[in-house]
Amino acid sequence: MSTTPQAISFPRRSMLALLCVGGVISSAPALAQFRIEVSGVGLTQMPVAVAAFRGEAQSPQKIGSIVMADLARSGIFRSVDTSGFAADETTRPDLAQWRLKGADSLVTGSVTSLADGRFDVRLRLWDVVRGIDLGGQSFAASSADLRLSAHRIADFVYEKLTGEKGIFSTRIAYVTKSGKRYTLWIADADGENAQSALASPEPIISPAWSPSGTQLAYVSFESRKPVIYSHDVATGKRRLLANFRGSNSAPAWSPDGRQVVATLSRDGGSQLYVLDANGGEPRRLTQTSSIDTEPAYSPDGKYIYFVSDRGGAPQIYRMSPTGSNAERVTFNGNYNISPALSPDGRWLAFISRVSGAFKLQVMELATGNVAQITDTSSDESPSFAPNSRLIVFATNQQGRESLMTTTLDGKIKTRLAGAGGDIREPDWGPFMR
């Protein structure tokens, strides 16, 4: 979700962020820790058994548990009990017994300490129904990278069993506000292993991953006005993308990563401009007396979706990358904001105000059919996983600020619950290259 400080209506927490400029750095918050709660039930789920990896009791991470949690969060798999079962990747299990237990697939493996301090992680995947070995993988990982190894194992299993790439080794970015301190976090796709990329006593909003996953654009108020930076994730180095007169906000990368479209007020009202990712003079895209903001490129680069109140209330429109042929996209209700396009180009997620509540909606672009997929009332900032199968969003659930993931039909939801603080504006990164 992206915002400008002008008058257009925004979800409540972003408005609070904009109003809380100032203050001093408070004591650092505890590193965000997350837990997973699956609250929905899918109609069709593959039963998979993931045994505890041999040797994981002596490793810093419980590989088998992380793999199973990843698979369950996808909504496609359900866990089969493996308690009391011991095997590793070298063992040929009695697959007939696992058929009797109702498993379609079985994952076994091991974690072994190496002389150089790293860990050797190995796995084997079995097709229980057909009684065949589907292959294995091995990784040499440092202690710090063991969780990433587990996510890569989950990616391997997911792709072998579904034919699609898994997203478990990708990352998410989000912002927390704890006291007067704002922190930009980069975390694993399950919300764990969060690392601080930037902390500031001034608001940080609108994080946006570049298509390569190497850069994060965001808006910082540290110079007491909204300014857009590009942040190198590996080195922490950053550079100014937009610091023009007035406000500079709502950055969104083009699919090729060469341009950034943003909302600038340099010439008066909030309008959309495109900037070269390496800097330079911006090119104006919209010429209206309304507020145009929250741009998002379509994956094929043929459209820029955005929010405008040109019709009297915030609605989602789209136009060509040159700024021509703007057309309205949302028609249900009088308040639709925060457009997010699925990487496969099929879906548009957005937030609607319904009876005073902010609800996550998903539109199938080919038909225009819209479905409301949450039962919460303060949803904001939807962002698709790179395989287009899940959406991460921020919300308030049972009085707790939360990051949630949901399947597109809303039947499987997972809460990535933070340890405290106001959580907002998640953005799901791309597949790692």
DSSP 183-244: EEEEEETTS-S-EEEEEESS-EEEEEE-TTSSEEEEEE-TTSS-EEEEEETTT--EEEEE--
Domain identity same for 243 and 180: yes
Kindly state whether residue 17 falls inside one of the protein's structural domains.
Answer: no
The CATH number covering residue 213 comes to: 2.120.10.30
Among the candidates 132, 162, 192, a domain finishes at 162
Question: Is 19 part of a structural domain of the chain?
Answer: no
Cα–Cα distances (Å) from 426 to 142, 209, 214, 340, in that order, read 28, 10, 17, 12
pLDDT at 215: 96
- Of the candidates 129, 162, 195, which is a domain's last residue? 162
3 occurs within a structural domain = no
Number of domains in the chain: 2
State residue 40's pLDDT score: 54
Residue-wise pLDDT tens for the chain (433 aa)? 444 333 333 344 443 333 332 222 222 233 334 455 555 554 578 999 999 999 998 899 999 999 999 999 898 999 999 998 989 999 999 999 999 999 999 999 999 999 999 999 999 999 999 999 999 999 999 999 999 999 999 999 999 999 999 999 999 999 999 999 999 999 999 988 899 999 999 999 999 999 999 999 999 999 999 999 999 999 999 999 999 999 999 999 999 999 999 999 999 999 999 999 988 899 999 999 999 999 999 999 999 999 999 999 999 999 999 999 999 999 999 999 999 999 999 999 999 999 999 999 999 999 999 999 999 999 999 999 999 999 999 998 878 888 999 999 998 888 885 546 788 999 999 997 6
Query: Which of 124, 145, 162 is the endpoint of a domain?
Result: 162
Domain presence at residue 309: yes
Which pLDDT value is given to residue 33? 41
d(CA 387, CA 264): 31
Note whether 141 and 119 are within 8 A (CB): yes
Residue 14 inside a domain? The answer is no
Question: Does 111 map to a domain?
Answer: yes
User: What tokens were used for 1?
Assistant: 């979700």
* CATH number of the domain encompassing residue 105: 3.40.50.10070
Are residues 176 and 143 both part of a single domain? no
Going through 36-194 in order, the beta strands assigned E by DSSP cover 36-38, 46-50, 77-79, 105-113, 119-127, 132-141, 171-178, 181-188
Residue 61: inside a domain: yes
Q: Are residues 154 and 179 in the same domain?
A: no
Element containing residue 249 per DSSP (H, E)? strand 248-253
Do residues 260 and 145 both lie within one domain?
A: no
62 and 210 share one domain:
no
Residue 4 lies in a domain: no
Residue 417's pLDDT is 57
Structure token pair of residue 107:
């994952």
Contacts of range 157-164, beta carbons closer than 8 Å, 24 or more positions apart: 157/48, 157/67, 157/71, 157/105, 157/107, 157/123, 157/125, 158/70, 158/71, 158/74, 158/76, 160/125, 160/134, 160/135, 161/46, 161/48, 161/77, 161/105, 161/125, 161/134, 162/76, 164/387, 164/389
Closest CA to 37 of 379, 427, 394, 397: 397
Asked whether the beta carbons of 181 and 29 are under 8 A apart, the reply is: yes
Compute the distance between CA of residue 158 and CA of residue 74 in angstroms, rounded to an integer: 9
Specify the pLDDT at position 39. 56
Residue range of the domain that includes 92: 46-162
Residues 52 and 78 in one domain: yes
Helix/strand/coil for 292: strand
Neighbours of 130 (CB within 10 A): 9
Same domain, 128 and 187: no
